[in-house]
Amino acid sequence: MTRVLFTDDEAPVLDGLRTRLYRQSGKWTMVFVESGTRALTEFEREPFDVIVTDMRMPGMDGAELLERVSERWPQTIRIVLSGYAEPQQALRLVPVAHQYLSKPCDAKRLVSAIERCMQLHSLLPHPNLRALAGRVRMLPVMPRVYASLRDLLGHDDA
C-alpha cells in the first residue's frame, strides 16, 4: 500500500484533505500532521512513498522540510500543495519538489498527480535506483526540445 504524508499547519485544510481523499484509504495509508517537525518524526518511524506539504508554515517551511526529506529519503516523491507563489520561495522549491499544485486543488487533481508520480516511480523497481533518481536536482533539456524551442523563438542564440 502506498504511504502518503500530508503536512499543513492549518487543521481545517488537513481535515478537508482527509474528507476528500477518504476513497483512497483502500489504496493509500494516509497520515496528516500539522508541522514539518512532526512530519520528520513520522518519517523516522517509517518512511513514506509520497509527501504532500504546504509551503508556508511556522518554524520549518515546506521548502526546508522537502530539503531534509530529499537528503534523508531521496526516493520519496515530494509534492507542494500551496496557495502562495512568491518568486523567492518558488525558487527554493525547484531542487527539492517534484511537483507544485496550487490551492485550492480538487481531490481528483491531487489523486491524479500522486498516481502519476507513483507510476513513474514504479518504472524504477530497485530502491537504490529510486534513491539515485530522487537526488537528481535538474534534468538536462533534450537537444530536440531545445532546437524546437529555439526555432519557435526565432533566434539562433536563444
Closest to 74 measured CA to CA, from 36, 8, 128, 32: 128
Instruction: Say what the pLDDT of residue 139 is.
Output: 46
Question: Does pTM surpass 0.85?
Answer: no
- What are the sequence ranges of the domains in the chain? 2-153
Single-letter residue type at 50: V
Residue with C-alpha cell 509527501? 51
Picking from 33-47, 59-73, 110-124, which range would have the lowest pLDDT averaged per residue? 110-124
d(C-alpha 12, C-alpha 6), whole Å: 13
Mean pLDDT of the region 11-40: 95
89-144: pLDDT as tens digits: 666 777 788 888 888 888 999 999 999 888 877 766 666 665 665 555 544 445 66
Quick count: other Cβ atoms within 10 Å of Cβ 116?
12
Mean pLDDT of the region 40-58: 94
- For the cut 60, the answer to whether the pLDDT of residue 58 exceeds it is yes
Q: Are 70 and 62 in contact (CB under 8 A)?
A: no
Single-letter residue type at 126: H
Those residues with Cβ within 8 angstroms of residue 8's Cβ, 6 or more apart along the chain or in another chain: 14, 17, 32, 34, 53, 54, 57, 81
d(C-alpha 59, C-alpha 16), whole Å: 23
Those residues with Cβ within 8 angstroms of residue 11's Cβ, 6 or more apart along the chain or in another chain: 34
Confidence of residue 156 (pLDDT cuts 50, 70, 90): low
Question: Which CATH code for domain 2-153?
Answer: 3.40.50.2300
Q: What percent of the chain has pLDDT over 90?
A: 48
